[in-house]
Amino acid sequence: MNEEAADSRLAEHWTPAAGAMLLRHLSLVCAVKVATDRHEQMWWMSHVALALAGMGLVLRSHIMVGLSLTCTLLPHAVWLADCVS
């Protein structure tokens, strides 16, 4: 079996499973936010990006995964720059 075929087979099984793990993690985060009466914190950009990444991996959507990375990397970069300055 060549390397490309092995990568393809791995992606077939790993991508939806990874997405499902991210969505289960998001469910736990949301449950904690509701239990601690912090509903507004469920809409933080990192939580939205987590939902996008999970759904993107489950649905195999490169666009959704790319959006989730953008939603995470850009605000965190700005936040870090603000912290350092």
- pTM here is 0.73
Rg (CA), the chain: 16
pLDDT reported for residue 11: 64
CB-CB contact of 73 with 65 (8 Å): no
Q: Which domain holds residue 57?
A: 3-84
pLDDT in 10s for each residue of the chain, 85 residues? 555 665 566 566 668 889 999 999 999 999 999 999 998 888 888 889 999 999 999 998 888 988 998 888 888 888 888 888 8
Domain count for the chain, please give it: 1
